[in-house]
Amino acid sequence: MIFSVKTITPALLSTFFLFATSAFAGPPLICHAFDIGTAKSLPWISHDWNLTGSESYNTRNLAADTIAILDSDPTVLVHMETLRRATLFASRDSFAAKQLLLKLASRADSSAPSHVALASFDLGYLVETYKQWLGKDQSNPAQGLDGNALVKKATQLRGNDPQMEFAAALITLNGPAADEQEHAQKAIAGAKTDPLLARNLSAHFSNTPSQTLAEMISRNSNVKVARQ
């Protein structure tokens, strides 16, 4: 079952975010794996969101491997999932965490105009994932940086990119309601022609791991949903 994006109206977005904000059992950028289909990302063993403890990945390669993946695929959801995995690996290696942040910062500063939007997005998104997972202690190299501002800049430079709007909506779940609703409205509208985005919207905004966004909205807002 998935939600029918045609039935979502601006009036329902406030309700959507009211329930979505309380639905997360943990940090929204970390505790929910993103569906990227068959695209390549960092190596992963777990079928859940977290490290299993049996990963043998060498974090000395984290910055180079992450950037190689980001440079090879412009799909924002691939970037979101790759940076989520990178953050989990970085939490085990403070040096790798700092190196990845510095490399992405340098990449954002030196990117060609055609790549500035994605490079700024990657840096901002990593900053926000670090904040959600590494916390506010001194081991977090992103302390003092505003990832949300970088992602907002990226959405403006990128233009119409519903997947990037989805990322921005997740980041601003606890921010100003107007920002949340604007990003969410654009993401939901874009899901009409983006099956991958539609699958992620359905999977991530849920009360429980088994409950989809469609089920949540249909119960709380009487919105019609379409079965798939």
Tallying the residues shown for the chain, one arrives at 228
Q: Which helix (H) or strand (E) holds 182?
A: helix 177-190
Specify whether the CB–CB gap between 43 and 33 falls below 8 A. no
Average pLDDT for residues 79-102, to the nearest whole number?
95
Residue type, 105: A
- CA-based nearest residue to 122, from 175, 93, 158: 158
Q: Which range is most confident: 47-61, 130-144, 183-197?
A: 183-197
Instruction: Please work out, in degrees rounded to the nearest 5, the angle formed at the alpha carbon of residue 88 by the alpha carbons of 174 and 122.
Output: 65
To 10 degrees, the CA torsion angle through 80, 86, 63, 132?
80
- Per domain, the residue ranges of the chain are 1-24+173-228, 28-34+55-153
Distance CA 155, CA 170 (A): 13
| N-terminal to C-terminal alpha carbon distance within the chain | 5
Exposure on the CB side of residue 113, measured as CA atoms within 13 A: 0
DSSP bridge partners of 226: 2
Residue with tokens 């510095």: 102
Q: What is the mean pLDDT of the chain?
A: 78
Residue 78 has pLDDT above 80, yes or no: yes
pLDDT by residue (tens digit) across 91-142? 989 999 999 999 999 999 998 888 999 999 999 999 999 998 888 766 799 9
Which residue's structure tokens are 């190299």? 141
